[in-house]
Chains A and B, each alone.
Chain A
């Protein structure tokens, strides 16, 4: 039995003002993502990868069309509702890690839970579990400045995963990492995808990442050029 669809994009178009004209970043995108998918958006700069991730992540709204994420129509959500959707349903992993430098690893991961109504002990267990998943439980008290790039990205993964979201959006997560760390990071995410059945959507043009993806969606000029799925096994 197939997993349920958690993201539906119906004729999603996004235009940005460019002087007196309008630039079309996304043009009638039709896509669905099922729970547990490990997929990626691939394409050159300006192809619309990040814009699409922003819409799926409820950070932006389509100019036309309907984007439904975890049962919510993105266009109809208020600021507060879209924040709630991100808080409970979506995790983000950034190219530049974006850890808060004044806080230690534990605090950075815990922050994602502070907005949820959890007790201190529940938060502590969840944070330590997340750090265990990425193999950084022993660095909980360390400051981000003392970690390597790979370790920082693993903290970012723990931060995205700690609230056990249904969907994780990763924007070029390996762009700042060397080859070995890139593999390690994607392997970690792949493992979490299998263990927790979390949906991962990447934006990437890194071959090292692409080889792990179950589904690759090629974007060009804001349109889906190809949508390829790897066969099982």
Chain B
């Protein structure tokens, strides 16, 4: 009987090819849409993580209490040692030193007199190590408007908006005024290697990106850093994994009982201002949109299944006359739905995954659409590949086809046998 049914499914294009195409299309769209939405939402979180929060962050306890004010007088002192310990503690995480600072940028005229001053918010990151991924995290190369990446010590990138305001060009120098970590007055001359446009007002107003070694010299922070950020290898922020690492780190006997305000403490992305809400909101919105999309696809595919079964009422009449029971016809209908749903879902998932993988690798450049955006979002959008990507398409693909056929099949029971049989005579 199964061979007979399979033969029918294969030979009857209206029963196989068309439904499989519809299921595969729906499945493909679901996979791509899910990964796209998850990717966009995840990218927003990742961008925040890359610039500010990391997915894990280690600071001194005192620094953590006022982290928003960048209190570098409470910075981690023996940063290299702690970094080595962290790399040994959790080798799968990319640990990086950062110095965050607020300072005053003083732009001189040709005579060296002050031409203008502006507040600046700075990031000091590892720009020169070969193994450093920091330039990529800040998307520096793609964000440069004029000039190029710093090639030597003392070279920095400044926001294009700031540069335009004071007519600063690559090659020009300026002085950064700030405070050392000991509370002294700090001033340091820097050379502009290029200007940056991140596409987010908060970042573009007065951003300065420099190498961490320069910042250590400028602010008297040799051997120190504001914070050490950790980045998990996952495409999408893995909340549970981050929490597990944080818990394990903070519960170490040497730290758990340590009352020293300079003792390190680890927090996750979720622990930082507004990020828990953002992660939850992102999960909720992407979940909601996926639910709406999956529901819509389920309705389309359900209707497909319904129409497919309805057009076969005359065939069911013949089969009843041949002596097949209603229950057996119903079961074969569900068997066919499972077969078609599975084949269509596999095709759809494979095609959808290929598209997702391509967009994940190459990205879609949306910078043209985001020129005036104030959101901290990446200009190149990518899809996210998560475990859900592999099965999300099967939900509308299989269940809705089975549901459609199951509902259509109820008609077989509701109609009297004689009526179904008489429908043969059309």
Q: Which residues of A contact B (CB under 8 A)?
A: 50, 54, 57, 59-60, 79-80, 82-88, 90, 92, 94-96, 98, 100, 102-103, 107, 110-112, 114-115, 159, 171
Contact = CB atoms under 8 A, between A and B. Distances in A.
B314 interface: yes
A94 B425 contact: yes
Given A59-B417, A60-B417, A98-B314, A103 B7 contact: yes
Nearest to A165: B323
Given A54-B418, A79-B326, A79-B417, A92 B8 contact: no
A85 B1 CA distance: 19
25 contacts: A50-B422, A59-B418, A59-B421, A60-B416, A79-B325, A80-B327, A83-B326, A83-B328, A84-B325, A85-B323, A86-B320, A87-B324, A92-B321, A92-B322, A94-B425, A96-B425, A98-B318, A98-B424, A103-B8, A103-B11, A107-B4, A107-B7, A110-B4, A114-B1, A114-B4
A83 B324 contact: yes
Interface of B: 1, 4, 7-8, 11-12, 15, 314-315, 317-328, 416-418, 421-422, 424-426
Contacts of B12: 102
Given A59-B421, A96-B425, A100-B318, A115 B324 contact: yes
B11 A112 contact: no
A76 to B, nearest CB: 15
Nearest to B10: A102
A115 B320 CA distance: 11
A82 B7 CA distance: 27
Given A96-B425, A98-B424, A100-B315, A83 B320 contact: yes
A80 B424 contact: no
B255 to A, nearest CB: 71
Given A86-B322, A95-B425, A100 B8 contact: yes
B377 to A, nearest CB: 53
Contacts of A83: 320, 323-326, 328
A86 B323 contact: yes
B323 A94 contact: no
Nearest to A110: B4
A159 B424 CA distance: 16
B417 A112 contact: no
- The list of the 9 closest CB pairs from A to B, nearest first, reads A87-B323, A60-B418, A83-B325, A86-B323, A102-B11, A102-B12, A92-B321, A59-B418, A54-B418
A92 B421 CA distance: 11
A80 B417 CA distance: 12
A198 B108 CA distance: 114
Nearest to B413: A79
B416 A57 contact: no
Nearest to A116: B323
Nearest to A83: B325
B410 to A, nearest CB: 14
B341 to A, nearest CB: 20
A85 B320 CA distance: 11
Nearest to A60: B418
A21 to B, nearest CB: 19
A50 B324 CA distance: 21
B183 to A, nearest CB: 87
B426 to A, nearest CB: 8
A111 B322 contact: yes
Contact of A88 (B7, B15, B323): B323
Contacts of B1: 114-115
A84 B315 CA distance: 18
A57 B11 CA distance: 31
Contacts of B425: 94-96, 171
A102 B317 CA distance: 16
Given A98-B318, A103-B8, A84 B418 contact: no
Nearest to A169: B321
A90 B324 CA distance: 12
Contact of B323 (A54, A102, A103, A112): A112
B323 A115 contact: yes
Nearest to B318: A98
A24 B11 CA distance: 44
A160 to B, nearest CB: 9
Interface centre among B12, B15, B421, B426, by most chain A C-beta atoms within 10 angstroms, is B421
Nearest to A93: B321
Contacts of A171: 425
Given A80-B325, A95-B425, 7 more contacts: A59-B421, A79-B326, A83-B324, A90-B323, A100-B315, A107-B4, A115-B1
B321 A54 contact: no
